[in-house]
Chain A
Amino acid sequence: MSLLELPSNREERWRWSDLSALPEIAARAPSGQMPERLPWLDCATPGPRLLFVDGRLVADASEPGDVALGTVEAPVGEDALGRLVGSEGWTLRLGSGHAPLGLVQVIHVSTGAADHLPARIELDVDAQASIVETFLGDGWTNRLTRITLFKGARLMLSRRILTASGYVSLSDRVAVGEGASFVLTTLAGGGADTRFDGEVHLAGNAGFAEVGGALLARGRQRHDANLVIRHEQPNGQSRQVWRSVADDQATCSVAARVEVARGAQKTDGEQSLKGLLLSRTATINAKPELEIFADDVKCAHGATVGELNRDALFYLASRGIAPAEAKALLTASFVADAIERIGEEDVRTAFLDDANAWLAHGGAQS
């Protein structure tokens, strides 16, 4: 892997990134060490299950159902990390009249080395799917997912990164058709560094996209999200809601852009990027960007960075709640803002539990 060419942070998109650990991880051999427990979700409507260990499907622990495995029909990404994924991966293609699939669950385990995997999701007219991806282990997990949603299709994609150490890089290229809806919620609640690269094109009239999540970092962890939602047609709606929490010497960075192409009138784009610093040595970076070429649009963004509201802490203290608990409560509610958009209750609850577990793990002690 000496051929690994990584971008430097002189490049604007990689301004706040630190990829320096990747060559070392890429040179390692996988340990094969599996986690004690695989956190499959028990849910009302179970669907296909896929388990990938070091980028390879574990057939006897998987029930692929409608998900096809093998060569993924999609050109390789041009971006620095996405182009590493190769061609063997998984594909979910749902036709227009397809019956509800149940919750698709994918677990990715990395056992210490680097693995790369492409995926393709294509939902035909009015098809619907809900997918949960969970990331575990301690290597470098690199994914590129291409998503196409045709007219009226709906995809809810939820991801939780619980990888203990190492690196997780996820690139997404999404095309949202007329009246289609795409909701991507990401929880970075492990110990690994992360990089999320998303490009969502609202390519049809009145498309809807919501991309957001919670980035929780401690130690020397770095989370780095770089997202673009591009409105190409009129009447589109988009939301980006990100909540970052940084403790110790950690850094959370979110660069989120809304682009409105010429003629994409009546666009409604909204961004809310908030950062919470829990320690004196942590860093929060935010870049809420708007690029607008149409006049009849409503685009707004808000960004705040700070510590927990002292008035709120005082209020809770006055009600007899111990400072640590008060801090935990407020932090949990701050993070919940970004996770509550998940539609299925089972998934939402699981994600909130994961976030709370992270917070309880020393995050809000001091």
Chain B
Amino acid sequence: MSDVRNREAHDAAEKAATYEWGFTSDIEQEFAPKGLSEDTVRFISGKKNEPEWMLDWRLKAYRKWLEMRAPDWAKMQVPPIDYQDAYYYAAPKKKIELASLDELDPEIRRTYEKLGIPIEEQKVLAGVAGARKVAVDAVFDSVSVATTFREELKKAGVIFLSISEAIREYPEMIRKWLGKVVPMHDNYFATLNSAVFSDGTFVYIPEGVRCPMELSTYFRINAANTGQFERTLIVADRGSYVSYLEGCTAPMRDENQLHAAVVELVALDDAEIKYSTVQNWYPGDSEGKGGIYNFVTKRALCQGRNSKVSWTQVETGSAITWKYPSCVLAGEGSVGEFYSVALTNNRQQADTGTKMIHLGKNSRSTIVSKGISAGRSDNTYRGLVRVGPTAENVRNFTQCDSLLLGDQCGAHTVPYIEVRNPTAQIEHEATTSKISEDQLFYAMSRGLSQEDAVALIVNGFAREVLKQLPMEFAVEAQKLLGISLEGSVG
């Protein structure tokens, strides 16, 4: 399969090489040649019909990236990544077709059932032949759903597009905001993303509009395979509100090894963005083989007065999670929130947290992080709270709790506090504990199995965060925690 793909790619590359600009948009092939070079960048940009300025931007990022080194400060062991041994552009892949659900890896099937996913949807997720039809129906369904949604959104003036479309249709807006919050040279992975991002989402909420529904990539037609280098940009204009859901609670056996996404949020005066993520990518097997490396840069700019950004994340997947959704609180009275549950099992490694950069007067932030480690995993909270000299009356409250299940895992807390204004009030608390025997005994005496009892207690531990999630996410996230812990007790 991959040989064929490789050959195709090379053929395409050769064909493309005869064109004056290397790669142009009218080439029909599906894959960029393996490896990363300026040509790859040109190919992606050409494939997407991008204007020249976008290509220049990508190339600039690529050249910058060549000079950068992968960060090594996180408490993780990252195997060396061969950036030349990867595809940087692939049109949506066709899934391997299964004859029926019975052929599906029973482990995945069991997970689907535990999550309570309807049979038909299971078939779609698993890519069962015949269910393709269902899938098409389902897609048609969601197309129609999406279309009705689009109508409604259009009426409200909300722009909700893939970023490639947005680059073509709203170039001024993209030029104005892209790279404004996460600059092109921000860090190794963000720079890589800037060069080769394949797709993503652009959302603009106009002044005074409360987005009539929760936006989710799930409803976007071309979100089927957004690829490994996703780019998301959300701009909330004055007085607007939007809630954005990212991710999918169903375990997708994504083959992409490396994910390096960038998410940029901008909130103007009185605007509010609520960004919720449930990340459940393949974590690798119990011996730590395989799994996704997830290096994500997420940052919000609370530029306006009284603007607010709230990050909520439930991270249970990926072999490696490197992710610090942050808020630059520049606006007077702006508010940043970070609610996180990160669960690691087996040999997973998570180094995640947030940065709250207080620049505006009266800005406030809240950080609640719940880390759960099991198996032989390592789970680190890494955070920064910084108060600039002109930021008066800043308030921050941080709470990081760690729960250890088993004596072979690790739980770490690395908070940085840097305060340069005396009127700031910064509080940080952290605790580390294990499940108490009493709690476990009590739950089991009420008839719960040990596994269910642990899941229940873990859910209680994470409750403060889970309750921040939109309803439909919260229910599945709870189940997910239980599932992710399987095999870690007893």
Contacts and interface: CB of A to CB of B under 8 A. Distances in A.
Nearest to A307: B422
Contact of B422 (A265, A278, A288): A278
A277 B404 CA distance: 36
B422 A290 contact: no
B416 A285 contact: yes
A301 B419 contact: no
Contacts of A284: 417-419
B413 interface: yes
A323 B306 CA distance: 34
Contacts of A265: 407
B424 A293 contact: no
A12 B416 CA distance: 12
Interface string B393-426: 0000000001011111111111111111111111
A332 interface: no
Contacts of A263: 407
Nearest to B430: A301
A278 B422 CA distance: 6
B432 A297 contact: yes
Secondary structure at chain B's binding surface: helix, strand, loop or mixed? strand
A52 B87 CA distance: 67
B407 A275 contact: no
Interface in A290-335: 290-307
A177 to B, nearest CB: 24
A110 to B, nearest CB: 31
A281 interface: yes
Given A12-B73, A263-B407, A290-B413, A299 B432 contact: yes
Given A12-B73, A287-B414, A290-B412, A305 B407 contact: no
Contacts of B411: 290, 292
A184 interface: no
A140 to B, nearest CB: 26
Contact of B417 (A12, A285, A299, A307): A285
A288 B409 CA distance: 21
Nearest to B406: A295
A149 interface: no
Given A289-B414, A291-B410, A295-B406, A280 B430 contact: no
Interface in A85-135: none
Nearest to A281: B389
A262 interface: yes
Given A290-B412, A291-B412, A277 B434 contact: no
B426 A287 contact: no
Interface string B337-358: 0000000000000000000000
A215 interface: no
A126 to B, nearest CB: 32
Interface of B: 73, 75, 387, 389, 402, 404-434
Given A295-B407, A303-B427, 18 more contacts: A263-B407, A282-B420, A283-B419, A284-B418, A284-B419, A285-B417, A285-B418, A288-B430, A289-B415, A290-B413, A295-B406, A295-B409, A304-B425, A304-B427, A305-B417, A305-B426, A306-B422, A307-B422
12 contacts: A12-B73, A277-B422, A279-B422, A286-B428, A290-B432, A291-B75, A292-B412, A300-B432, A304-B425, A304-B428, A305-B419, A307-B423
Interface of A: 12, 262-263, 265, 275, 277-307
Nearest 7 A/B pairs, CB to CB: A277-B422, A295-B404, A303-B428, A290-B413, A286-B417, A305-B426, A299-B432
